[in-house]
Structure 1
Amino acid sequence: MRFWLLLWLPLVLPLLSHAQQPTPAPRDTTIHLRSVEVPPMPTVALDTLQVLPGAVDYSGWLLLDKDIQLELDGAVQNLYNCKYDKAEKQFRSLRRRYPHHPMPYFLLGLSTWWKIYPTNFHATEYDRLFYAYMDTANTYSERLVKADPHNYEAYFFLAAANGFSGRLNSERHNWARATFNGRRALTYLQKSREANGLSPEFLFGEALINYYSPWISENYPLLRPVLLFFPKGSKQEGLRQLRQVADNGFYTKIEAENFLMKILYNDEHQSAQAFPIARRLALRYPDNGYFARFYGLLCFQKGEFDECERVSRDILTKLNAGMPGYEATSGRYASYYLGYLAQYKYKDVAKAKDYYQRCIVFAESNGDTDGGYFLFANNSLAKIAAAEHDNAAARRYFNVVADKADRKSDQYREAKAWLKKNKA
C-alpha cells in the first residue's frame, strides 16, 4: 500500500494496517500530542466548492499577503531546491516578526518534511522537530480560530499541519496518532473550503479529497463503508483542481505539481503527461534529488537515454559530494540506469557490473531489498555471471532473484530453471 496516496485521509490507514497484519510498530520517538477535543467526523459535501465567503475580513492573513509572498519567493525556491539553511533563515525571520502566527512554524515544518521525504521516509532523525513545528502551527491556529471563528486561514493551517503529521505518523505506524490527525485534517478542511474562491491555496486539499475518494473506493472495496464519511468525489475534477493549484498557487504550487506528476504516472498510467511536469520540476530545482530521480525514471522509460545518463551522473556526483537531498534511494535509481546503459549502449560489461553492484549496495544500505532495481540489478548480474561461466556468482545472484521475484514472473522462472540445471 502506498501510504503517501492518503496524505489527507490518514483515518483510513489503521484499517488498512489491520487488514494487512503489519509488523509491530517501531519504538515511538515522537513527542506527545496535546489533549485536544476533536470534533466528530463530518460528512463532507463538495457541491459548494470555491464559494466566496460573503463577508470575510481577511486583513492580516499572511497567506494572502502579496508582500509576504514576494518576500518569501526566494525561500520557497530554496526549500524545493534543498537549500534548507537558506530557506529556514527566511522562515525564522518571518517568525521573529509574527511569533504567534502559524505560518512560519508550518513553513519550517515543511522544510523539515523535505529532509525526510526524499529518503522514502527512512530518515527518522528529523521526526521530533517536524512534529514540534506542526504541533506549534496547530496551537497558534487554534488561538486564531478562537478569536475569530471565520478565520479560514487558520483552518487551512490546521488542515495542512494535521495532514502532513498524519502522513508521517502513518509511515511510522503510529496508527492512533494518524487517526487523530486524519479526523482533524478532514474536519478543518471542510471549514477552510469556504475560502476556496479567495486563493488556490485553499483548493489543494479539496483536490486530493476529490481524487482519492473514488480512487480508494475502486482499489480498496473493503474500505467503502469507511468512505461514507468522505465525499463521493471525482477523479477528473480532482485532477482539474490540482492543475489549477499547480498553475496559480504559491505555497502549494510545488506540492500540487508533485502530486499531479505522481498521480498521472502511478495511477492514471499517463507517463506522457507526467513527463513534462517531471522535467519542469527537475530543471527548475536542479539540486532536488527526488525530482531528479523521478525525471531520470521517466527519461529511462521514454528511451531518452542521453538525458537519463546526464541526470544519473549528476545524481551520483552530488550524492558523493554529500549534498542535501541526495541519498541512497536516488543512488539506487541512478546506478541501475547507468549500469543498464553501460551494458546495452556502451557494451562495457565491467562498468555495468560495477554500477549494478553499487545499486545493490545502495538498496541494502536503507533496506529497500524487496524488489525493484535491487531485483533487476541482481538479475542482470546473474545473467552476466552465467555468460562468463562464473557459476558461483550466477548462483548467488539467481538465488536472490528466486527469493525476491514474483512467482509468476519470467525472472522467477528463469532463475529457478538455471538453479535447477546448475545445482551445486
Structure 2
Amino acid sequence: MISPVWKVISSLLLMLVSCQIFAQAGDPAVPANPSGYLLLDKGLQYRVTKSINSMYDFDFVTAERDFAVIMYQYPEHPLPDFLMALGYWWRIEVDVTNTKFDKIFIQYLDRANEKAERMYKEDPKNKEAAFFLAAGYGFQGRLYSERKSWTKATWAGRNALKYMELSRGEEEFNPELLLGDALFNYFSVWIPENYPILKPVMALFPKGNKQLGLQQLETVASNAFYTRVEAQYFLFRLYASEEKRPYDALRISEYLHTKFPNNPYFHRSYARHLYTVGRWTESVEKSVEILDRIEQRQYGYESNSGRFAAFYVAEYNNRIGNKAEAKKYYLKTVAYGEESESQESGYYLHSLIQLGKMESESKNKELARKYFDQVKKYAKRKHPAHKEARDFIKKNKL
C-alpha cells in the first residue's frame, strides 16, 4: 500500500511548499529586509512576479531570460535554479504522462538543492535555505510519485517534511505563509478522510481544519497580490471536485483563462467548467479554440488538451442530434486519447461506447463489436464503462 500513501503525501508537500515560495517571492507589501534573505528583497520580488506571470502564460522564453539574469547576479543562490525548474514543472503539468522534461526538471532542482545545502551547512539557522530544500524535495517527490518511483518519492517526501518544519519560525515570513497554511489546514483533514490508511502518517502533522483552510484560500484568492493566482488555481480544483461548487469553479477558471489566455491548462479547465454547468455552446467555442491551437502547433497545446476539447464538442453535437459531427469528434477524442496514452480515461472509454452504439445503429455490427471490445480491454471490470459494454454486446447480440 505504499504507492497511494506517498503519492498523496508528496502531493500535499508539493502544494504546501510550492505555494509558500510563490507567496514569499511575489508580495510587494513585504516590509524591509533586515534578515538579508533574497526572497524578501522588494526589488527582486517585482522582477520575479513579472517573470512568473510570463511563465504562467507559457511565454517561457521571456520568463527564462529573466531567470537567467537572476542566476547571473546570484550564482550561489538556489532561487534562480528553482525558478527554472518551476518553468519545466508547468510544461509537465499540462500532461503529466509526458516524461520528456523530467530530466532537466530534476537537474535544476538538484542544483537548487545543492546550493541550499551549502547555505544550510554554513548557517543551520538559515530559514531561507531550509525553505528551498523543502520546496525542492517537495517537487521532486511529486514528480517521482507521478512516475511511480515510490522509493524515490518516499525519500524526497521525508526530506521535504524535515526541511519544511525547519523553515518555520521566521517572523518576516509569517505574513506570506497564509496560502500554505490554508492548503495544509484543508488537506491534512481531507487526506485521512479519503485515505483512512494514511491516518497514522498524518498523525505526524499538526491537526488541521478543512473549513478554515477553505476560508483562508478564499481570503488569499480575493486579497493577495501575487498568491491570488495560486489560491485560485487550487480553489477551482477543490470547488469542481471536492466541494461540489461548479459555478464557483467556473468563475475562477474564467478569470485565470482571461489573465493567462495562452495557458492550455487554464484554457481546457475553463472549457470543462462551462460544459459542467450546461453552457455547452460556450464550451464548444473554447474547445474549438483549443483544437485549432493544436492544429497550429501552438506551444503547450497537445493531445491531452485535445482529448478534453474534442469530447466536449462531440457530446454537444450528440445532444443536438448532429450524429455525423458527433462521430467525427468522438473519433478525434479516441485518437487524442491513444496519442496521449490515456486509454483508461473516462472520456476515451465513453467515446468508444458512443461510437459502438452509432455503428450498431448503422448495422455495422463488426465495427461496433470492435469498439466495445476496446472498452473491455482498457476499462477495469468494475468500471461502469466495462459493464455497459458487456450489457450492450449481450442485448444486441454483437
TM-score range, shorter-chain basis? Answer: 0.7 to 0.9
CA distance in structure 1 between the partners assigned to 2:136 and 2:115 by the alignment: 11
Residue type matched to 2:366 in 1? A
Cα drift, residue 362 of structure 1: 0.7
Matches within 5 A, 1:124-143: 124-143=99-118
SS in structure 2 at match of 1:101: coil
Q: What per-residue deviation string (whole Å, max 9, x for no partner) do you get for residues 178-205 of structure 1?
A: 1221112112222223247635543443
**Paired residue for 1:22?**
none
SS in structure 2 at match of 1:230: coil
What RMSD over aligned residues (CA atoms) do the two structures have, in Å? 2.5
Residue type matched to 1:220 in 2? Y
**Paired residue for 1:82?**
58
> TM-score scaled by structure 2?
0.86
| Unaligned ranges ≥5, structure 2 | 15-31
* Alpha-carbon spacing, 1:168–1:307, altered in 2? closer, same or farther (3 Å): same
1:105–1:137: 8 Å Cα contact kept in structure 2? yes
Q: Does 2:71 align with 1:95?
A: yes
Q: Does 2:257 align with 1:282?
A: yes
| Unaligned ranges ≥5, structure 1 | 11-55
Q: Does 2:183 align with 1:179?
A: no
CA distance in structure 1 between the partners assigned to 2:218 and 2:301 by the alignment: 28
2:10–2:145: 8 Å Cα contact kept in structure 1? no
Q: What per-residue deviation string (whole Å, max 9, x for no partner) do you get for residues 35-88 of structure 1?
A: xxxxxxxxxxxxxxxxxxxxx964432322221122233311110111111111
CA distance in structure 1 between the partners assigned to 2:169 and 2:219 by the alignment: 17
Q: Does 2:182 align with 1:207?
A: yes
Q: What per-residue deviation string (whole Å, max 9, x for no partner) do you get for residues 226-258 of structure 1?
A: 222122211122223333444455665433322
Q: What per-residue deviation string (whole Å, max 9, x for no partner) do you get for residues 259-294 of structure 1?
A: 222122222222222221111111111111111111
Residue type matched to 2:205 in 1? F
Matches within 5 A, 1:189-338: 189-195=164-170, 198=173, 200-247=175-222, 252-338=227-313
**Paired residue for 1:29?**
none
**Please, which of 152, 164, 169 is the counterpart of residue 144 of structure 2?**
169
CA distance in structure 2 between the partners assigned to 1:230 and 1:181 by the alignment: 17
Cα drift, residue 386 of structure 1: 2.0
Q: Does 2:12 align with 1:8?
A: yes
Q: How many residues align?
A: 377
CA distance in structure 1 between the partners assigned to 2:214 and 2:160 by the alignment: 20
CA distance in structure 2 between the partners assigned to 1:394 and 1:278 by the alignment: 37
CA distance in structure 2 between the partners assigned to 1:156 and 1:246 by the alignment: 23
* Alpha-carbon spacing, 1:385–1:245, altered in 2? closer, same or farther (3 Å): same
Q: What per-residue deviation string (whole Å, max 9, x for no partner) do you get for residues 5-42 of structure 1?
A: 742348xxxxxxxxxxxxxxxxxxxxxxxxxxxxxxxx
| Higher relative helix content | 2
Residue type matched to 1:182 in 2? G
CA distance in structure 1 between the partners assigned to 2:33 and 2:43 by the alignment: 18
1:275–1:298: 8 Å Cα contact kept in structure 2? yes
